[in-house]
Chains A and B, each alone.
Chain A
Amino acid sequence: QSALTQPPSASGSPGQSVTIFCTGTSSDVGHYNYVSWYQQYPGKAPKLIIYEVTERPSGVPDRFSGSKSGNTASLTVSGLQAEDEANYYCSSYAGNDNLIFGGGTKLTVL
């Protein structure tokens, strides 16, 4: 199973919104509503920020939102803050007890 495709980088100014895309196939992102997003700071473990495409764990600011259209999922960060500068990874269930991740997007707050 191939990894999900993410742009290597994204950027925005404080207060702006930025959207990160995650492209899979009809066998993973397009087939299951089990897309998750993780935020990771250098040297730290990933932190779950979105699960099941649109759901936010408790404690995650509502500035983070997720959606999906066809084989592409997206993470939108609204009202960008300096602390949002991190790496973001998507993942999707791919059937047959299989989970795949994206290669990651480095978000820079200008």
Chain B
Amino acid sequence: QVQLVQSGAGVKKPGASVKVSCKSSGYSFTGYYMHWVRQAPGQGPEWMGWINLNSGGTHYVQKFQGWVTMTRDTSISTAYLEMTRLKSDDTAVYYCARGPSRQLVYYFNYWGQGTLVTVSS
């Protein structure tokens, strides 16, 4: 069965960087797109963008361009979300999520368990 297992929670100071991992199992890793979605406390989800797990090509929502990087390591079936210059309003649970097919779709039936990133001085 498809599983997405994310790295653990962390606390970062403003201006720091963080890298969240999402390890996949149960499917052919390079055949799909991985999306990243964040959810601030008490808020609705916010979609951040996607990475093509085969080519490594990426697409970011404009507000995340320049300080967010999505990468993958196909040898260990793991996708990464790296964020730099963190601010307090980046405090959120970050999820990796995948759609049901190899096509690029914008709904997700597989989700990681979430990684809480807290930005606080």
List residues of A whose CB falls within 8 A of some B CB: 3, 6, 34, 36, 38, 45-48, 51-52, 57, 89, 91, 93, 97-104
Q: A46-B45, A48-B109 are in contact. List 7 more A-B contacts (CB 8 A).
A: A6-B44, A46-B95, A51-B109, A91-B47, A97-B59, A98-B61, A100-B47
Interface of B is mostly: loop
- Judging by beta carbons under 8 Å apart, are B59 and A51 in contact? no
A contact residues around B45 at 8 Å (CB): 38, 46, 89, 91, 101
Known contacts A46-B45, A102-B44, A103-B44; decide if A51 and B107 are in contact (CB<8 Å).
Answer: yes
Name the CB-closest residue of A to B111.
A45
Please list 9 pairs of residues, one from A and one from B, whose beta carbons are closer than 8 Å in the complex, sorted by A's number.
A3-B44, A36-B107, A45-B113, A47-B111, A57-B100, A91-B106, A91-B107, A100-B47, A102-B44
Q: Cα distance A52–B109 when bound, in Å?
A: 13
List residues of B whose CB falls within 8 A of some A CB: 43-47, 59, 61, 95, 100, 106-109, 111-114
B contact residues around A48 at 8 Å (CB): 107-109
- Judging by beta carbons under 8 Å apart, are B109 and A34 in contact? no
- Judging by beta carbons under 8 Å apart, are B43 and A34 in contact? no
In this complex, the member of A45, A52, A104 whose beta carbon has the largest number of chain B beta carbons within 10 angstroms is A45
B contact residues around A98 at 8 Å (CB): 47, 61
B contact residues around A57 at 8 Å (CB): 100, 109
- Judging by beta carbons under 8 Å apart, are B113 and A34 in contact? no
Q: Cα distance A3–B114 when bound, in Å?
A: 21
A contact residues around B112 at 8 Å (CB): 45
A contact residues around B95 at 8 Å (CB): 45-46
